[in-house]
Amino acid sequence: MKTIIFFFCIFFLVSTGYAQEREEEKDTLKYEIEELTITGTRTLKKIIDIPYSVFRVDKEELIYGKKVSAKDLLADVPGLFLQNRYGNSDLRISLRGYGTRSNSGIRGIRILQDNIPVSEADGQTVVDEIDFNALGGVEVVKGNISSLYANAPGGVINFLTDLYYPQSFIKTSNQYGKFGLKQTDERFGIKADKYRFTMSYNYRNVDGYRPHSNEYSNLVNGVFEGYIGEKATLTVLGNYVRSQLWMPGALTEEEYDTDPLQASKQAESQDLKRFTKKGRLAVRFKTFLGKNENNEFEATGFGTVKNLESNDYTSVTILNRYSAGSFLRFRNKSKILKRDNDFNIGFDYAFQSGPVTTYQNIGGHKDITIDNEIEDNVGNYGIYFYNQYSILKNKMDLYVSGRFDKFIYTRNEQLYNGYIDTERVFQQFTPKVALNYKLTPSIALYTSYGLGYDIPSADELGNYSLTSNGGRTTLNPDLNPQKSNNFEFGIKGNLINKKRTEWFRKIFFDATFFNYVIRDEIVPFIVGGISYYRNAARTNRMGVEFGFKSEPFEGVELTTNYIYTNFKYKQYDALISDLNGTITHQDYSNNVMPSYPGHILNFILSYEYELSEKINGLLQFDCDYVTKMYADDKNSVTTSPYFTSNPMAGINILLGKFNFLAFVGANNIFDKRYVGFIDINDYYGRFFETGEPRNIYGGLNISYKF
């Protein structure tokens, strides 16, 4: 029935589009596609020509408002579900259920910064090295994209540095807010005939809205882009981050009902925290070849050094990781049977290695004796291709892609505590086929079917006593990659009215139906604050995403996003051990996947005002409604639905070469209590991380152009 309703909605939208065009002919008005392009699909394409559900957050949408967490930028992207574990850090990003399993960092979604992977070789991602105040846009490609990237069955998010400014500038951005928020961002950009260079320094300090949840960070980002002749570009990207985060821990249901803002006593007594130092450097060369520039070649290399020291409930862990990678890409645009053909082929390589040393956590301090020391190595080799062929000129494109990946994991035990060194190898070919059909130059239908592949991260492969070898090997022999069959069908349009009449000057819509069948779903469970992982035999995820944005009146923008999901385990027999070591089987078949709501509704009303030629601003009201979620596979504990509202007002003043921008806003202005993050399947019932209470903030940005 829901599918029938969905297709009826599509028919209605299409019919409305045709009716609108007929009405336009009558009134001599013309709507045309807004020329938005995306690079996160490994080539430059207009959104209307891409057979995916794609969303771009543009620079104009990033001018106002708080930019402390990635959630501040992405909260209004249709299809995304975001949960901040500690208010600002440890963001969980879920796309159609992918990423939900992560209790720390991002999984199942490929994260890029200026098309350079932020995700590590094993797919684990933390976005602490991205300066959100220095961005010129964010691209979100939703749906299975395993045929182009490793570990990307959920999609790709590409954070783009603001590099294409009209003239050189210096800028200071300052944000202050409740719970001790102090953030300053200093940035300059140089524009010359032969190059562009921008650099930013970001400092942030937050006390946190729960005890033992303060954090600070220092971050430097820089991008240089040099132009070699008329056809080649050399880009150098670098960043360094130093941050520390204290963690208040998850609460039981009883603790949450008593005081949702308290910290876990165990978290305070064991001083849960994480200290990170990380630096990265990347170099990219891109050139066009041929008389008509029909060929494109790109070569990229990057390296990362990371030091992490963290306290959990039982251990102090010191990790030193060295990562390196490269990729080559070649593109050819030609004619086949007088039809446009776009062929791309590429090779990716990524490697990470380094020692991991653990000590016993004694009241928040590491013991003097090393508990264990291992060396982790992960290597990934991948080759991919894709071809987009115009079956009907300017109407229908056929898209065929495929990727072969080989992952090699080794974990060697350095202290010889009785564990057996282990190597595991995963390899898979993931094809995909898609169609994009333009009903009009500005409205397109798209559909695709492909295979998804998502390997466990190095942390997820940690062994434990309930595996088939009793935990004797350094890697879990039973945990397998999750594989999926992914189908989606949708319609999208992005229209602007060039006649600039009073009604509906801009319209954007995107509706997608998806159905995923997943084998060996990787599922987390927590014992003693430590996450372990197992496979569920079969899962089915079906859902509908809908996004609509319009300008009904001059200066007024109305946005509505809606997600409906039905995510269930179809076959899942779990092995459970109690505190006495007694092992039982639990059948969770037909249960709902935890930590994902059945319905998400987002509503945004914005008004851009203009007081004079040099003074303008923005008024915005943003609200979200999220239905209940389950906290465990057993479906024995649920969270309550919640509704949050977030108003914001800003003003922008231009005085000669100076620009002054000020804003003030509030998150959760009605101070609703809700669960903002769920620690899935905690044995002791510590499921709940409290969402952000009322938080008033403000900011002042000053820039000078020269």
Please state, in angstroms and as integers, the Cα–Cα distance from residue 273 to each residue in 70, 363, 459, following that order: 20, 12, 18
By DSSP bridging, strand 80-84 and strand 315-336 are unpaired
Q: Which pLDDT tens digit goes with each residue over 366-407?
A: 999 999 999 999 999 999 999 999 999 989 999 999 999 999
- Which pLDDT score is estimated for 653? 95
> By the 8 A CB rule, do 648 and 662 touch?
no
- CATH number belonging to domain 2-705: 2.40.170.20
In the chain (706 residues long), the average pLDDT of successive 10-residue segments reads 38 37 38 60 86 88 88 86 75 90 85 92 88 92 93 93 92 94 95 94 94 94 93 95 94 95 94 95 94 91 95 93 95 93 96 94 92 93 96 94 96 86 95 95 94 92 87 92 96 77 78 96 86 91 94 89 95 79 85 95 94 93 96 95 96 94 95 93 92 95 94
Question: How far apart are the C-alpha atoms of 583 and 576, rounded to whole Å?
Answer: 5
Measured over the CA atoms of residue 94, residue 275, residue 322 and residue 531, the dihedral's sign is negative
* Closest by Cα among 694, 699, 701 to 178: 694
Q: What is the DSSP letter of 247?
A: -
Question: How far apart are the C-alpha atoms of 359 and 314, rounded to whole Å?
Answer: 9
Amino acid at 449: Y
- Which pLDDT score is estimated for 78? 84
- In 337-421, the DSSP E strands lie at 339-362, 365-392, 396-413
- In 17-151, the DSSP E strands lie at 31-33, 37-38, 45-46, 53-58, 80-84, 91-95, 110-113, 116-117, 135-142
φ/ψ (deg, to 5) at 462:
-60, 140
- In 528-657, the DSSP E strands lie at 530-553, 556-571, 573-577, 583-587, 599-612, 615-626, 642-655
Q: Which pLDDT tens digit goes with each residue over 139-166?
A: 999 999 999 999 999 999 999 999 989 8
pTM: 0.91
Token code pair at residue 478: 């039973």
220-248 b/e (C-beta count within 10 Å ≥ 16 → b): bbbbbbeeeeeeebebebbbbbbbebbbb
Question: How far apart are the C-alpha atoms of 76 and 138, rounded to whole Å?
Answer: 12
Q: Alpha helices of 84-211 — where are they, by DSSP H?
A: none
- Which pLDDT score is estimated for 8? 34
- Which pLDDT score is estimated for 15? 38
